A = this chain, B = another copy of it.
Amino acid sequence: MSGLIRYGVTKRWSDAVVVGSMGYFVEVPDNANGSPREQFELVFQQVEARLAQIGSDKSRLVQVLVYLPYVEDLAIFNDLWDDWIPTGHAPSRACTHPQLAAPGYRVELVITASIF
């Protein structure tokens, strides 16, 4: 099990798991009180903090699965995303509109990032 590192382990999930040079994590906003824009800004901040925690940064995103349960949020999400992604470093991305387990949340991100 050398090379498998878990961060923020709870009974149900870990905040992040690193195997070798790859980090895997999932983020939803820390609270669902904000507007869609506020939730998206919050989750991007959380992703940056998580990347820093595992020794990566937003220039090393590999693949992001974007879950947007509310179809009408897509345009504002994309506007914020385009500003947030560093030029020349966009990840592979898929965006779908499934219902999330947590009600009220406007976004969930499944992230793979390189730590080298």
Contacts and interface: CB of A to CB of B under 8 A. Distances in A.
Interface of A: 1-4, 6, 9-17, 19-22, 24-26, 59-60, 62-63, 65-68, 71, 74, 78, 81-82, 85, 87-101, 108, 110, 112, 114, 116
Contacts of A22: 19
Given A62-B4, A96-B100, A101-B74, A91 B13 contact: yes
Contact of A68 (B9, B21, B101): B101
Contacts of A24: 62-63, 92, 112
B97 A100 contact: yes
A116 B59 CA distance: 25
Given A2-B116, A60-B4, A14 B90 contact: yes
Given A1-B116, A116-B3, A13 B97 contact: no
B71 A99 contact: yes
B21 A21 contact: no
Contact of A99 (B3, B9, B59, B96): B96
